[in-house]
Structure 1
Amino acid sequence: NWDTGDEMVEKFLDAAARGDLSQVSTLLSHVPSLTNQTGYSGWTALMLAARNGHYHVVENLLSHGCDKFIVNSSSQTAYDIAKFWGHKHIADLLGQTDDGCQRVLLGSHISPQENYFSRETLDRLSGKRTDEAWLEAKQRKPDTVYLMFSNLSPMVSTPQEDNSLCRFTYETVKDLLQKPATVLIFLGGIQETPAWFAFSTDEDAAELLKLCTERNCSFPKMPNRDLLKLNEEEAGIVAQARSVLAWHSRYSFCPTCGTSTKPEEGGHKRICLNSECRSLKGVHNTCYPRVDPVVIMLVIHPDGNQCLLGRKKIFPARMFSCLAGFVEPGETFEDAVRREVEEESGVQVGPVQYISCQPWPMPSNLMIGCFAVAISTDIRVDENEIEEARWFTRQQVIDSLFREASPAFIAPPRQTIAHQLIRHWIGMNANL
């Protein structure tokens, strides 16, 4: 005698969650209608098997026509769940269409977040960087836009709350461009015209400000704060310009032989002036602008309802943020996440999921944003790295982001990828 109704569904879902392929097959052979039955929070057998890594159960359920497009109460498909928990082989199986091609099954209602400094406002026109005649002609055109940097800060005007980049013509800055210490880089253009350039100069900042006809012009003194006041379009341009100019400021001498170097390819390459230097033979990464990869991760408690945040001594009072650290040579970013989390907090991490990235021109980092699921919860802070680390509940995080009345902590600014990772997490249901 077979049980009926809720008891049968519960037995079927439990077998799928445990990975009992024999019982799943037996139950389906007697009651085929169990295939897409749901339990708590709308979870199907396929979702439970995907959550716990039971590949053969998933395979069997699909062969019986289980609907992989069903979503639970959190708007997640079985694919979303398998991907989150790091079961790539199951995610690949669930992501296949009938013709064997891969597709993305977006069960989440959360829209992708564009991170600050990430917008590509200009077409970089990288193919034009080696065309010296074209670049030289563009430099002299009356509609060409020049951005001026002093000590790696762009000149900005502050009409109200936000900053705006000061834009110059060739006639205004041509004398500065002839100075030996000036570094000029080609940024690109919009449909090839006008062209945009940025340059850095070591001339007196007070004298440079006289070239600006607008009021309230300045060079930001605290870029980590002041550059966050630009609009999204200009922030993306500054991210490119500042990173490349910072590289020029640090690589005026060849790292291979110590000889002076000079810019080429629109400022996107430096070559050694020593004709015998081995950096001139073949392709060498010392000749091109560097990008430093940094992992930044929101660590999620095994219960799904808490996240781990830390604070450094230099943070404003009560501010907590995601843990972060540089990727080491020969290391994957998943391994970097696990290493950095354990080094800074003592917490061990299992599955790691990439979410999004953000250029961070302070001076030339690329922030690789991830979620990471903890497999231990005890915190042992490395005080050389951070001052404090704590688990915060989902409600505490929501209060911090959306309510002003005495939140448990202060969240990082909205322009940071840390803020966006936290915001992304609270948009998900804890029931993964």
Structure 2
Amino acid sequence: MADLQLSADEEMVERLLDAAARGDLGQVSSVLSRAPSLIDRTGSRGWTALMFGARNGHYDVVKELLDRGCDRFSVNASSQTAYDISKFWGHGHVCRLLGRTDAPGENYFGRETLDRLSARRTDQAWLEARRTAADTVYLLFSKLSPMVSTSCRRQGGQPELRLCRLGHDAVKPLLQKPSTVLVFLGVERTDPPSPSRQADEAPRDPPAWFAVGTEEDADEFLAGGGEEKRLFPRSSHRDLLTLSEDEAGVVAQARSVLAWHSRYSFCSTCGGGTRLEDGGYKRSCLNAECPSLRGVHNTCYPRVDPVVIMLVIHPDGQQCLLGRKKMFPAGMFSCLAGFVEPGETLEEAVRRETQEESGVKVGRVQYVSCQPWPMPSSLMIGCLAIAVTTDIRVDENEIEEARWFSRQQVMDSLLDGAQRVLTVPPRQTIAHQLIKHWIGMNANL
């Protein structure tokens, strides 16, 4: 009998761990409601349900386990806590939930405010119901510029831009036009249902968000904002950097997909017309004979362009290489960068671009972090690179000047009131974050 009981317990533990790994909140809650003592039981390698949830970034599962009193400090066979695991895999939102302040750095435009709910993109009935729901949020983009308001102000009186959140009735006239592009962005992240909720009370879908893109003059939508002033920013590289971290993440997703639609309205295989599918995440050719309709093709899905951006470190560890383009403000220097070519590794792209732009050869390359950059749709892959030569020969087609700067000079550029020999890009850019990352490192790389 004892063996049978042990077998039943083990089966329940496996169900709990599997559900936590998959992010099945309902199953996790069901198992623990029947057997709460299993919450800290381990499977292979000494992993608990909390560790599996943290490994895969399942915020709701981790929160449920914490609310039920799991041991957040237990360690696995490799002496790793759930926090250690979530930090290694880059799940900053889970790290913060676990109560640690040294979570992985989060670059601007990178915050995942919404649950993209990609499995729902092909569910036309569900999407149609969400389009007309009273709590659905629409973001309006005119020529890739989001409608914002300036009703709030930061300290010092400077205007702060906020996204205008519209309802279905406000955008209905645009949705009826064939040239309008509609993209499903996801749903708001919500806490798990309260235990006090009635058993017969059906769970409600969280509010859905959509992006509406138009190339038409949308000035008529600027009225009706009450006391707030509405506008469509025209300087995306400057104005979009004033949004909050939460809203910047949504804009990065929406603007990148809308930019793809604006550039790929025709089939890139045969030149025929296309139609939108999958909630705005696919364009299918209308030509039944088009090769893109057979087999696997990447021409009908949103494009993301990988870009390496690197801070090149002098062999002495005390200097870094920065360059400037003619378009930069006077005195500004930044990290070198360039597009990854087909069939090229990130490391080789870093080495090639550095040598092409500055003449400096680099050896070791270390990945640091990445940043979505929705102008129009790039993924900035941030790296540190260790130079093996130091002579600079600038390719003036790419940049106009490149120089080695000392650690102290770079530190001064980040301090208010310090005497500066250069300025660096704003904090919202990954270049700024790479520079800060290097400043905070030990000089012995």
Same-fold call, TM cutoff 0.5:
yes
Letter in 2 for 1:418: A
Flag structure 1 segments of 5+ consecutive residues without an equivalent.
1-95
Q: Matches of 1:211 and 1:251 in 2, distance apart?
A: 33
Please report how far the alpha carbon of residue 431 of structure 1 lies from its aligned counterpart in structure 2 after TM superposition: 2.4
Partner of 2:136: 144
SS class of match (1:421): helix
Partner of 1:36: none
**Equivalent residue for 2:337, pick from 320, 324, 329:** 324
SS class of match (2:114): coil
Q: Deviation per CA, 1:257-307, whole angstroms, max 9, x where unpaired?
A: 000111101000000000111111122100100000000000000000000
Q: Matches of 1:112 and 1:229 in 2, distance apart?
A: 22
Partner of 2:172: 174
Q: Matches of 1:148 and 1:429 in 2, distance apart?
A: 46
Q: Matches of 1:270 and 1:316 in 2, distance apart?
A: 39
SS class of match (2:172): helix
SS class of match (1:289): coil
Q: Matches of 2:312 and 2:250 in 1, distance apart?
A: 31
Partner of 2:162: 164
SS class of match (2:112): coil
Flag structure 2 segments of 5+ consecutive residues without an equivalent.
1-76, 89-100, 154-158, 191-204
The runs of at least 4 aligned residues of structure 1 exceeding 6 Å deviation read: 103-106
1:408-427 superposed matches below 5 A: 408-427=421-440
Letter in 2 for 1:202: E
Q: More deviation in 227-236 or 214-223?
A: 214-223
Mark the structure with the bigger radius of gyration: 1
Matched, 1:218 2:266: no
Judge conservation of contact 1:347–1:376 (CA < 8 Å) in 2.
yes
Partner of 2:195: none
Judge conservation of contact 1:172–1:211 (CA < 8 Å) in 2.
no
**Equivalent residue for 2:271, pick from 232, 240, 258:** 258
Letter in 2 for 1:180: P
Q: Deviation per CA, 1:221-252, whole angstroms, max 9, x where unpaired?
A: 10001000000000000000000000000111
RMSD: 1.9
**Equivalent residue for 1:337, pick from 350, 353, 356:** 350
Please report how far the alpha carbon of residue 378 of structure 1 lies from its aligned counterpart in structure 2 after TM superposition: 0.4
Q: Matches of 1:213 and 1:196 in 2, distance apart?
A: 22
Partner of 1:188: 186
1:5-84 superposed matches below 5 A: none
Letter in 2 for 1:256: T
Instruction: Give the structure-1-normalised TM-score.
Output: 0.74
Letter in 1 for 2:116: R
Please report how far the alpha carbon of residue 176 of structure 1 lies from its aligned counterpart in structure 2 after TM superposition: 1.1
Partner of 1:273: 286
SS class of match (1:402): coil
Q: Matches of 2:326 and 2:264 in 1, distance apart?
A: 31
Matched, 1:284 2:297: yes
Q: Matches of 2:267 and 2:239 in 1, distance apart?
A: 32
Judge conservation of contact 1:110–1:427 (CA < 8 Å) in 2.
no
Change (3 A) 1:211 1:271: farther
Q: Deviation per CA, 1:61-99, whole angstroms, max 9, x where unpaired?
A: xxxxxxxxxxxxxxxxxxxxxxxxxxxxxxxxxxx9599
Matched, 1:113 2:97: no
Q: Matches of 2:390 and 2:249 in 1, distance apart?
A: 38
Letter in 2 for 1:344: E
Letter in 2 for 1:116: Y
Partner of 1:297: 310
Q: Matches of 2:118 and 2:108 in 1, distance apart?
A: 23
**Equivalent residue for 1:233, pick from 246, 251, 255:** 246
| Number of residue pairs aligned between Structure 1 and Structure 2 | 332
Partner of 1:60: none
Partner of 2:216: 203
Letter in 2 for 1:204: D
Partner of 1:72: none
Letter in 2 for 1:322: C
